A and B are shown apart, each in its own frame.
Chain A
Amino acid sequence: MIDKHLTCTECDELFPDYFEGELDEARRRMIETHASTCARCQGVIRDIASIQQTAANLPELAPSRDLWQGIEARIQPTVVAIGERRDGHGLSRRMLGLAAAALVVISSSLTYVVARPPASGKKPAPVAEKPRSSPTTVATNATEPGATPTTPTAEQVDPAAARPSALETGARVPSVRNATRSARTSLVSASQLSRAELALAPEIAELQRTLNQKRAELDPSTVKIVEDNLALIDAAVRQARAALLRDPASGFLTEQLDNALQKKVELLRTVALLPSRS
């Protein structure tokens, strides 16, 4: 086995483990012996090593599903707010009571957002009703039977929620100070960001920055296509978020929002790796 001379094809099969450092010493030596007399395999090793080196130098991105940053942003500000004292203006018992109440509400909202079960786990078992006659047309957004179906815009559903969020504009997730201010002004806003939004925000912001840096290198028509499609996805995010505010327990709407956000990440990743025009 140790004396065996490898072919290029055999090397190809062993390369993944070779580059992962998972080959035993004997096989590793066999590859290197082969490569010492094979320009092709030498080239492969050189190029992959170069790619590994380049990849190692890329900026680190936060994991997509790391919830801690979002949780931390909502736990810390409240603690800071309670602890903040201005000289000569100590908080009254009443203010402390209100702050404590706000903390409870915010924490409850956060806990609910983070801990609620995934969509698939909470749909009620189907219960059959009287079947409709065939063919069937269902206007799903009508409030009364027979009402004209309409498709509400995000603004119609909830004008405030339909505004672009920091996430969509590529800004970082709200800072501790901003989160504190946000929590003070609106208790609803504490639960506006879904788990997916919290988790994906850093990556989206990073990729958005990459797009901004890369814009000049790309063909203008490509940039337009990308921006048009990002706008479509952002609109989908806003609409799903607005609907979710109306029905926070909806697994379907949560999934719609998650899907739209995931699409945004995928598109931005694509753009980050697009070849430049020259």
Chain B
Amino acid sequence: MRKSIAMRWALAIAGTAALTGATSTARAQSFDSPQRVDTTVSLERGGTVSISVWSGHVNVTGGSGSNVRIRGTVERDAMEVRARSSNVTISMESEYRHGGRADLEISVPEGTSVVIEGYSAPYVIQGVKASVKAETLSGTIRVSDAGGKVSVGSVSGDIKVTDVDGDVRAESVSGTITMSGIDGDIEGESVSGGVSINRAKSRSVRAETVSGEIAYRGTFDPSGTYTFKSHSGRLLLGMPADAGASVTMQTFSGNVDSDFPVTLESGRQRLGHESRMEFKVGNGRSRVVVETFSGDIKIQRSTTSDNRE
């Protein structure tokens, strides 16, 4: 079963606790007043950088070399940098229960995995070409040019994930989720926030909301499964005319608007209020499921290039 935001928060807390228990090789910097930071530590290829910053902002950028460089400003609180050959932990020791404010620019070697958590700090993680795990309460999360597995979650912060060569899972309560250029499996889930997926090259896509709108533009792999569900959110799919897909749509009280001819399932379409419709494009090998209680469904005919750009 998929992990919920709750589970991932629990793992983050456990992970942080475990890391906090480490290490005699740590180096620490502490500041009583706002102060600039510039620290460089080495990290072996494929290592991990873990960051816990409560507020402020954090930019993580992948690049050449084998060092992790941390620059920026730390206000009031103390920053700890614990460095080992395979992992670096950057955390804030605050007078408050959790880490405090910091504005940090962190450069890491390409291929470094990033684990980051916080409260309101916005995060930008770009060019690391490795896995990313980010959790925040109200801060925004931007991830681009990552690889491996990307897992991001927020309560109210918006999430944007771009150009990932790997699987992506994004989850929010009220934040908007935007994913584009994903070459891997996609999962997007929200309550009231929208989920927008563009330029996807995925064999498995699942997007669910309660009231948020879901939009998908991407390829439909012959062996792929694509599932879009909402309670009242609008569902919008761009489907190339040359795609090969069997599409099943079901709604209780929403409207269905399709650029493709649909077939109403005999004997079901007026049982109660519920309607179930189907249509097939091309060889019909991809399986597409679109379900909503009261949201509208719109299937637009698009060109292949529309869905790839």
Contacts and interface: CB of A to CB of B under 8 A. Distances in A.
Contacts of A222: 137-138, 155-156
Contacts of B173: 225-226, 229, 267, 270
B98 A275 contact: yes
A152 interface: yes
B14 A232 contact: no
A127 to B, nearest CB: 4
A222 B294 CA distance: 28
A131 B274 contact: no
Range for the number of chain B residues in contact with chain A:
35 or more
B97 A276 contact: yes
B69 to A, nearest CB: 23
Contact of B174 (A133, A229, A269): A229
Given A126-B278, A250-B274, A266 B6 contact: yes
A46 interface: yes
Contact of B294 (A50, A219, A239, A250): A239
Interface in A215-271: 219, 221-222, 225-226, 228-229, 232-233, 236, 239-240, 243, 246-247, 250, 252-253, 255-256, 259-260, 263, 266-267, 269-270
Contacts of B25: 40
Most A C-beta atoms less than 10 A away, residue of B173, B254, B260, B269: B173
Nearest to B97: A278
A135 B6 CA distance: 43
B155 A225 contact: yes
A164 interface: no
29 contacts: A44-B21, A47-B21, A123-B268, A127-B265, A127-B267, A135-B258, A136-B259, A136-B261, A137-B258, A138-B275, A140-B252, A143-B270, A151-B253, A221-B138, A221-B156, A222-B137, A226-B155, A228-B174, A233-B210, A236-B231, A250-B274, A252-B250, A252-B252, A259-B229, A263-B191, A270-B155, A275-B119, A278-B96, A278-B97
